Structures are given as structure tokens and as C-alpha cells.
Amino acid sequence: MSPILLIAVPLGLAFIIPLLALVSRKLSAYVPAVGMLFNLVVSLYLLPSVLSKPIVVRTAGFAPPFSIHLVAGPLGLLLAGLVALVGLLVAIYATGYIKEGSVPRYHALYLLLLVGATGIVLTGDLFNLFVFFEILCISSYALVGYRGDKAGIESAVKYLIQGAIGSSLVLVGIGFLYGAFGTLSMADIAGNIRSVRPMTVFISMAFVVTGFGVEAAIFPLNAWLPDAHSSAPSSISAILSGIAIKAGLYAVARVLFTVYGAETFLPFILVLGLLTLLVGEMSAFSQNNIKRLLAYSSMGQMGLIVFALGLASAAGVEGALFLVVSHGLAKALLFLSVGYMIYRTGSMEISSLHGMAKKMPVSSLCFTIGAFSLVGLPPFIGFPGKFMVVRAALEKADVLYTVLVAIALLGTVVEGAYFFRIVQGLYFKPAPEGAVAGAGGGREAPFSALLPACVLAVAILVVGVCPHILTDYLGPAASDLLDKAAYIKHVLGV
Amino acid sequence: MLPAIILITAFGSAGAVYLAGKVHPRLRNGLAVLSSLVLAGLVGYGYGQKSELVTISDFLGVDLVLRLNSLAWFFAIYIVIINAGSVVFSLSYMKGKERLDFYYSMMLLVSAGMLGIVLSGDLLSFYIFWEITSWSTYLLISYRRGPALHAGMKYIIMSLIGSCAMLVGILSLYGTFGTLGIPELRAAISGCSPGYALFILLTMGVAFGVKFAILPLHTWMPDAHSEAVSPFSAVLSGVLVRMGMYGFLLIMYSMVGLKAVLSLGSGVLDFHYLFCWLGALTIVIPTFIALLQNDAKRLLAWHGIGQGGYMILGMALGTSMGVAGGIFHTINHGSYIALLFLVVGAVEYRTGGVRDLNRLGGLIKKMPVAFVGCLVGIMGLIGIPLTNGFVSKWLIYKTLITEGHPFLAFMAFVGTWGTILSVYKLLHNMFLGQLPEKYKEVRKSPLSMQIPILFFCLVIFFFGIFPGIPLRVIQGIQGTMGFAPLRLTLWGLASDAGALNMLNICFALVIAFAVVFLLMRLGPKGRRVAQHDSYAAGSFVPVDKYHYTVEFYNPLYRMISPYLKDRVDQFYYWIAHRASDIFDVTRKIYTGYAGTYVLYIVSFLAFLIFVQLVWRTW
């Protein structure tokens, strides 16, 4: 089985959706779920076999560095699996949640977004990275504005402006590299990076990192995020937070670690991560809009992940990858469970969610599990992540790192403060009087929404109790990112 | 195997009780009581056993170990007994309240978490159970709604800060020694530098100090204890807070080691000496703040902090007798403070939620069992002979005197003086004096409240008269920490500086009582009169004016209250408000104009290139 199917099958399905919609609109809504189920099975099936050596897929019979090629290593497949898992669950959620507007177009764009994310993590050359990145970005611009209301369009346009600038910076940066090396294969460039004037390399790196950094939500490039996350439909917010920004971060990490091998730049990345964390958590603290709050919290979590990557040690990268998964699951769960609460009350104000546990007990429980996990409380999945990151920082046995990690932990205390307040609101505060009942009054969310939420909640609990389900793959995945020589050797076959 | 069975039962019953509640409330209540009793039985069965069991090997690179030893057993039995008492008490106290499935399940989860803490054989499991206990406690404090929400937030935020510090300490140990097993660390840590030992003691001490409510980390406790439902206040103040004590014992004497702790620092800046002073301050200030309280539960909560000071004082002294006193005082305090919270709960239950000491009084005839409970409880709290509080305080005082710490001893005595004043107010304002008209119809407390109240009374006397029994167990614990054994007898102990023999004291007191009783019988009989049959100089006094419990100690209050503001609490609030102001300013970074955002992106790029061009940093 070839990893290329992970891209080809969903891409094909995405184009079938509009055609299928002509026959049955209802049926077309299930296509993304089918595509992602396929991806999930394939990536989990392939994952054990790539732990020692990645599968390199060539196209048109040319060997790298001359062709478009995919490098399905442990990291790529792990992230592809995460994309597929969250994508599948959110797709199931969307079958019931997305009712208005041109539904087939939503599903087609949604699948394209996931194709973009999968492509980013699997590709082996820079230009393809850019192309998939654009697929991801363009479909997410469209999806943010899907509802067509004023707020949606406004934030979609803002997102579009910033995203487009980011993409063009990436393109310029890649152009520098192509001009200098005459190749676009990441492995090839990585192998010859020392042969070019360092300043040229740095300028190109500055462009590429800034460009990808926009999507990766690194401070100060992340201003699009709160608007886009809060105006998009909840299912899309879940994907943006759970998947899209992770794909951006993967792109940043891949170019930094593999292509540029920029070890000296990483301490700066670490500081940026810390800033992102603090700014995100501080901005989230007094938010009244639940989706904006979750968006800022995503920013904060991304900061923690970037911080861990900036530690530039195997333990740090493993911790970062664990957090990528744990945050992906937990934040998707939060957006999904909050989605129907907003739908039912017709308001995104936190105060309108008070007393929700009486009316929507399962959704509230799921929200609580997601929130506890994000704060890093055992026995949920967030705890091993936080544990690994702190351990990685303290392994440096350096007072500076101890102080930095203490600051990062203060960020998580702030995060705890606002999440605990919301949980109290859900369970222990009286429902607001004269609450404007949105669609469906005070009923629990439908089965199509509860199923994915419960699956995520169970996954959060199970991996939290048995983290080795995940950590077994993190070692190879981290060395996939850190061990540049092995990457070059595997891809170029020398 | 036993520790694993205990924990599986504990966590399993927390879940099972919730599900049982969905079937039938009776089933739930029965199951909750039954599982608490089974747990007590299981832990009791583990007396004297030693076992160690790797539950999960290689959890994030660490083996998770459960172990049972004398220290773990001692705290475990203490947890399950107080929990069982509170669960039985809850049966009637909580009747008719909302979300009882949640309540019972959380009660059991909290105690399961605490059992996990004491049965952990490595610091990672310790941390995991510590956090589970923290968040379940937060949920249970918040359960009462209203002001309890604020109390819950205060608790969980302080607790989170503590646990972050602890995480840094634990992982630093892991980074340095590559293991988290307590016995392995004990062996490894002995050779480390004093500075590092201090770092570990401080980082983990913050977490324990928050939970223990030691000054100046105590501010969550008065709110949380007074706002939680009474049976849970008993658990909270009786055992949960004392997990901090367990933690201190664990790191100070089981890990870092007695010798290293005593030799840490020099002169006035001696670690254990400063710690003693912290304990002494924790005795005096909160005890006098307790005096000012008019809310019965708040008063007890401040005593909970103050009595903690005695434990710290005893423990930090680092002598056999002092540490024995500290540990013994922990369980003694647990028994009488739980008893007092239950008594206040019973009064609250029968009077319709009143715990304002200015509005109660004269309930002695209406609620005799509660009165007895209150009397015994405050006797224990003060440390009157024949109660367990006497013995543990005797041990601590004795150590302070023989070790030559007159000032510390003075602080401890002053604390006891404040205690006597303030708990007398508690007893008097609830049970003595005139019965207000509206409480004429108050009935006595239901059986499920009387049982735990009487049980704790018995415990207090039993440990007070036969202190040798618990002290023998404590001696076993001290043996593992390298303390010299005490010369124990069933009735007390012998030492060079004077012996304690409760039998003699008991006899003396019995004779004294007999003499007084005889004199009373021989003297003329008193005449019983109705409550309002009194002389008021010819003018009619309305019945309610007889109620002279209002504004008890008012002159004293006016005298001392200006000195006893909780400035630490005010300081924390000040920090919180300033922080939240800063957060609001930070949020303004995101202006909402796409133009600014584009500017950010372009300037970031320019910044990178500029720095590199000028300084060649990267």
C-alpha cells in the first residue's frame, strides 16, 4: 500500500462530492467521513512499518531529488493519522451540524483542507509543501466565511489578507532557495546547505519561517486566529485549532530542523514560544466569548508546543509532538461540545452557558474532560504532555531553563483559572433568566455530535492513562525531525 | 497486592456509587456507606504489612509503584475512618439536596485520591494522585454554589501553583538522579549538595504548604472550609489538608533524611529552626483570627490552620518526641476537628442552615448529643487531659522545653490561650445561654449524625487515655526515618525529663470528680426556675434580650482586630487584580484592524533580517 493513497483518495473523493450531490445531497455529507476513515486505517497500517525507515514515494519514475516525492516517515504518518482521526470525528459531527448553506460545497472544501494538511506532513519537496499549504489555507479561508454572515466574512477576509501575505513570503523564501540550489527537494537542499553564503540562507529562512509562522500561530503573526476561530462554524474551529495550525507548525519545524538545520536559531524560537504562550493565555483570561477564549487558549498551547520544539532535544521534540496530539484531541473536543451549546442557546457569551450541565449533561461532561486535559491534569492526555515538556526543559540542568519553564507553567495556571471558571459555570451556576433559547430549546446534542465527542473524550482518558500507546511512536518521530543525516540518506538513497 | 486492591476498591466505588444513584437513591447511599466501611476494613487488615508492587512499568519512563509501609498505613487508616464518618453523617445531612450522585461519588473520589497519595511508592504516582485529589476537591467545594464558587476558584488556583512548583521539583529530581522511586531517591539524595536539597524542599514545600495551609499560603482555607458542605468540611479539614503533613514527612525525613534536614543552613538561618518559627506564627495569628469569627465554620477553619502550626512545630523540631508529637497531633486534630465540623453541621441541619454564632444559643437540651460532641471536641482542641489533644501537645511542649526553645514554647502557649477563648465562644454561643424563641421546636440530631459524633468522641478519649497504642504505630514510622525510639507504655511514655502516665491523671481526675459530686450532693438542693423567672428591677425585659451571646468578646475584639487583618490575603488579591489589568492591556495587542496585523507580520520579518544583518546572531 502506498502512502500516496493518503492524498489521492481524499482528493478524488473531494471532487466526487459535488457530482454525488447531484444524485443525493444526503449521501454526499458522508463522503469526508469515508475518506478520513480510509486515511486513518491506511496511516495506522503503515505506521509500524516506517518506524525504522521511511517510505519514499517517487512519481513518474524519477528518483529524488529530481521529482515530486513523498516521504512517509514516522512523523509524517503519525500526524497524518492525527489529521485523519480528528478529521473523521469532525466529519461525523458535521453530518448533523451543517444544515444551512450549500452543504456539498462545505464537505468538498472540508475534505480539501484535510488533503492539504495530509500533504504538508507527507511531502518531501518544498514546492509541494507550498502547494499543499495553499490548498489548506484557501479552503480554510472559504470555510471560515462559510456561514456568510458579516462577522464570518469579515474575519475570513482578515484571515485571507494575513494568510496571503504569509504564503507569498513562503514563496519568496522558496524562490531564494531554488535560485541558490537549483532544486526543491528538502533532502537535497539540506545536504548542501553549507555550500551557500549563510546570509542568503538566512534571508530565505526568515521569509519561510515568517510565512509558515502565520499559519502556525506564532506570536506576533497569529492575529488572524481569534477572529477566524470564533466566526467559523464550530466544526471548522475544531479543525482549525486541532489540525490546521499544527500543519503550519509542522512546516515551520520541518524547514527549521531539516532544511536549514538552524540550531542557533532555536533559542529564539523558544522565546517566541514562551511569548506566544503568555500572550495567548493572558488574552484568553478575561474573554467573554467562549469561542474566542478557546481560540486564545489554542494560541497559548501552540506557544507551549513551540517552546518545547525550541528546546531542540529529543525529549523536547517528543514532548512537543505529544502536545500536538493531546491538544489536537482536547481542543477538537472542546469546540465540538461547545458547538451545540452555542447552537441551542444562540449565544457565544460564557454567561449564557451557565447551568448547561442540567440540559446537556453529556456535552458538559465532555467539555470538562477537554478543559481538564488542557490544563494538564491527570489522568487526562494533557498531563503526560505537560510532564514531558517540563522534564525536557529540566533535563538541560540549567537555571535559565528552570526559570523559563516556571514562566511557562505560570501560563498554564492562568489557563487553569479561566477553564475552571467555565466548568464551574456549566455545573454550579444558575442558568441565566429569560435565556433566549436558540434552535431546539434545551435538548442534548444529537447522536451525530455526541458520538465523536464521546470518542474523543474516551481517547483523552485512555491515552492519559496509558500514554505508551502514543509515546512508543514518538521516539522515531522525533528523530525523523532531528536526525537530518538519516533523513537525507533515506530520501536520496546514498 | 493489598495496596492495589485498596485503590481499585476506592476508585471503583466512586464510579459505582454514581451509577447506583441512577438506579435508586437508597442503593447509592447503601453502597457509599458499605464501600467506606469495606475500605476501612481493607486498610485495617493491612496493619503491619509491608508490600511493594509495580503497577505500570515504564509510564513515561518511570515505574509506577504502590507500596504499603507503616507511614502509608497510618495515614491510610486515618483517611478511611474520617471519610467513613463523614459519609455516614451525609446520609441525613444531605437528604433532599441536589446532585447527590455527584456528591457521594466525589466524596469517595477525594478519599480514593488521598489513599493513592499515601500508597504511592514513587513521586510520579504521588503527583498524579495529588492532582486527582485537587481537582475533585475543587469540584466538591464548588458543589454548594454561591460563595462556594469563589472559594473553589481560590483553592484550585493556589493548588495549581503549588503543584506546578512540585512538578518542577519532582522532574528536577528525575533529571538529576534518573529515578522517581522513593527508596531509590532516598539513597541517591544523601550525597547531594545542601543547596540542591533546599531547592527540592522549597519547590515541593510550596505544594505541601498550600495544601497544609501554612502561613503565608493559607488564604484559601477559611473560604473553602466554611463554604463547603459540612461533612466535606470535616474531610477537608480533618484529612485532606493533612496530606501536606504527609508530604512534609515524606520529603523531609523519608527522602532528604533527618541528618541532612537538621544540618541545612547555619545559625539563625537554620532551615528547620526557621520552619519551626513558621509553625509558631501559624499557631498564633490564625488562632486569634479565629477568635474574631462569628461564623461557626469559619472559626473552625481558622483553628484548622492554627492547629496545623503545632504539627509543623513538632515535626520541624526533628527530635523523636517532637516528631512523634507532630504526627500524633495530626490524627488527633483530624478526629476532633472532624467531630466539631459534624456538630456544627448537625446544628446547621436542625436550625435551617444557621451557623452565625450571634443567632444561636441554648441548644443544649434540644440537641444533647451534639452538645456532648462539641464539648469533647473543644476539650480535644484545647488539649484538656484525658483527651488525645493533651497527649500530643504535651509531647510538643515537652520537646520545646527540653530542647531549649522558650520563645517557641511561649508562642505555643499563647496559641492555646487563644484557642480556649475562641472555642468556648463556639460552645457557649451554640449550646449554652438562652434558647431563642424560634428554636423551641428544634429536634435532636438524627441517628446517622449521632453515630459518627459519638464515635469520634470515643476516639478522642481512647487515644487520650491509651496514647501508647497509636504512639506504638508512630514509633514504627519513626524507626524507618532513623529516629531513636521512645520509651512507651500503654498509658503514656517515660522520658528523662519526666514521664507521662495517663492512668495516674485519669485516677486523679476521677477522684476530683467524685469529690465535687459528693460535695454537690451533700450541699443544699437548688431550686429549678423557668427561663424567664428572673429579677429585672421591675422593668419588663423582652425575652430575646436575655440572649447575651451576641457580640461575645466585643471589647477584646475591638482591641485586637486592627492587628489581625489577613494582609496576605489582601496581597494576593492585589496581585490578582494587577495581573488581570495587565492581561487586559495585553489583549489590546489584537486591535481588530487587519492593517495592524499586516504590520506585525512585516515588522517581524524585518526584525529577523535586521538582527541578522547587524549582529549576525544566528
The predicted-structure confidence for A255-267, as pLDDT tens digits, reads as follows 999 998 888 889 9
Residue B60: pLDDT over 90 = no
Rounded average pLDDT over B168-193 = 86
Q: Do A285 and B168 touch (CB under 8 A)?
A: no
Predicted local confidence at residue A3, as pLDDT: 87
Contact residues for B247 (Cβ-Cβ < 8 A; gap 6+)? B204, B207, B208, B211, B212
Instruction: Using alpha carbons, select from A87, A76, A70 the residue that is nearest to residue A13.
Output: A87
Predicted local confidence at residue B505, as pLDDT: 86
Residue A98: pLDDT over 60 = yes
Rounded average pLDDT over A442-471 = 90
Distance in angstroms (rounded) separating the CA atoms of residues B440 and B446? 17
Distance in angstroms (rounded) separating the CA atoms of residues A466 and A381? 9
| Distance of residue A484 Cα from the nearest chain B Cα, in angstroms | 19
Please give the residue that has the higher pLDDT: either B267 or A195: A195
Contact residues for B382 (Cβ-Cβ < 8 A; gap 6+)? B389, B416, B419, B420, B423
The predicted-structure confidence for A133-188, as pLDDT tens digits, reads as follows 999 999 999 999 888 888 889 999 999 999 999 999 999 999 999 999 888 888 88
Residue B531: pLDDT over 70 = no
Neighbouring C-beta atoms of residue A408, cutoff 10 Å:
25
Residue A60: pLDDT over 70 = no
pLDDT, mean over chain B: 87
The strand pairing partners of B120, in sequence order, are B66
Check: CB of residue B436 under 8 Å from CB of residue B361. yes
Rounded average pLDDT over B571-585 = 91
Residue B370: pLDDT over 60 = yes
Rounded average pLDDT over A17-38 = 89
Distance in angstroms (rounded) separating the CA atoms of residues A130 and B61? 38
Rounded average pLDDT over A237-244 = 92
Residue B22: pLDDT over 60 = yes
Residue B84: pLDDT over 60 = yes
Alpha-helical runs (H) found in B181-270:
182-189, 194-212, 220-227, 230-235, 243-249, 258-262
Q: Using pLDDT thresholds of 50, 70 and 90, give the confidence band for residue A113.
A: very high
Predicted local confidence at residue A280, as pLDDT: 93
Rounded average pLDDT over A398-412 = 90
DSSP states along A293-321: HHHHHHHHHHHHHHHHHHT-SHHHHHHHH
Q: Using pLDDT thresholds of 50, 70 and 90, give the confidence band for residue A387.
A: very high
Please give the residue that has the higher pLDDT: either A348 or B496: A348
Predicted local confidence at residue B527, as pLDDT: 78
Rounded average pLDDT over B214-225 = 87
Q: Do A387 and B171 touch (CB under 8 A)?
A: yes
Enumerate the residues of chain B whose CB falls inside 8 A of the CB of residue A409: 164, 167-168
Q: Using pLDDT thresholds of 50, 70 and 90, give the confidence band for residue B261.
A: confident
Residue from the list A223, A383, A397 with its beta carbon closest to the beta carbon of B590: A223
Distance in angstroms (rounded) separating the CA atoms of residues A144 and A122? 25
Predicted local confidence at residue B56, as pLDDT: 81
Distance in angstroms (rounded) separating the CA atoms of residues A200 and A180? 8
Q: Do B60 and A397 touch (CB under 8 A)?
A: no
Collapsing DSSP states into helix, strand and coil, what is residue A24?
Answer: coil
Residue B538: pLDDT over 90 = no
Minimal-distance CA residue of chain A relative to B159: A413
Q: What value of ipTM does the predicted structure carry?
A: 0.92
Rounded average pLDDT over B123-136 = 92
Predicted local confidence at residue B502, as pLDDT: 83
Q: Find the range with the poorest average confidence among A287-291, A391-395, A478-482, B556-560.
A: B556-560
Enumerate the residues of chain A whose CB falls inside 8 A of the CB of residue B613: 199
Residue A123: pLDDT over 70 = yes
Predicted local confidence at residue A63, as pLDDT: 67
Beta-carbon contacts below 8 Å between A and B: 159
Check: CB of residue B449 under 8 Å from CB of residue B342. yes
Q: Do B587 and A379 touch (CB under 8 A)?
A: no
Q: Do B601 and A158 touch (CB under 8 A)?
A: no
Q: Using pLDDT thresholds of 50, 70 and 90, give the confidence band for residue A118.
A: very high
Residue type, A244: A
Predicted local confidence at residue B545, as pLDDT: 61
Residue B47: pLDDT over 70 = yes
Instruction: Using alpha carbons, select from B422, B225, B481, B460 the residue that is nearest to residue B328.
Output: B460
Check: CB of residue B144 under 8 Å from CB of residue B155. no
The predicted-structure confidence for B313-354, as pLDDT tens digits, reads as follows 988 888 888 899 999 999 999 999 999 999 999 988 888 888
Residue B212: pLDDT over 60 = yes
Residue A439: pLDDT over 60 = no
Question: What is the H or E stretch that residue B572 is in?
Answer: helix B567-587
Rounded average pLDDT over A63-80 = 84
Instruction: Using alpha carbons, select from B348, B355, B86, B118 the residue that is nearest to residue B235.
Output: B86
Predicted local confidence at residue A23, as pLDDT: 87
Q: Using pLDDT thresholds of 50, 70 and 90, give the confidence band for residue A441.
A: low
Predicted local confidence at residue B489, as pLDDT: 79
The predicted-structure confidence for A247-296, as pLDDT tens digits, reads as follows 999 999 999 999 988 888 899 999 999 999 999 999 999 889 999 999 99
| B618 Cβ under 8 Å from any chain A Cβ | yes
Q: Using pLDDT thresholds of 50, 70 and 90, give the confidence band for residue B565.
A: confident
Enumerate the residues of chain A whose CB falls inside 8 A of the CB of residue B605: 169, 206-207, 210
Q: Using pLDDT thresholds of 50, 70 and 90, give the confidence band for residue B432.
A: confident
Where exactly are the structural domains of chain B?
267-485+542-552, 570-615
Minimal-distance CA residue of chain B relative to A212: B601
pLDDT, mean over chain A: 90
Distance in angstroms (rounded) separating the CA atoms of residues B180 and B170? 8
Instruction: Using alpha carbons, select from B130, B6, B125 the residue that is nearest to residue B64.
Output: B125
Largest CA distance in chain B: 106
The predicted-structure confidence for B484-503, as pLDDT tens digits, reads as follows 888 887 787 777 667 788 88
Predicted local confidence at residue B476, as pLDDT: 87
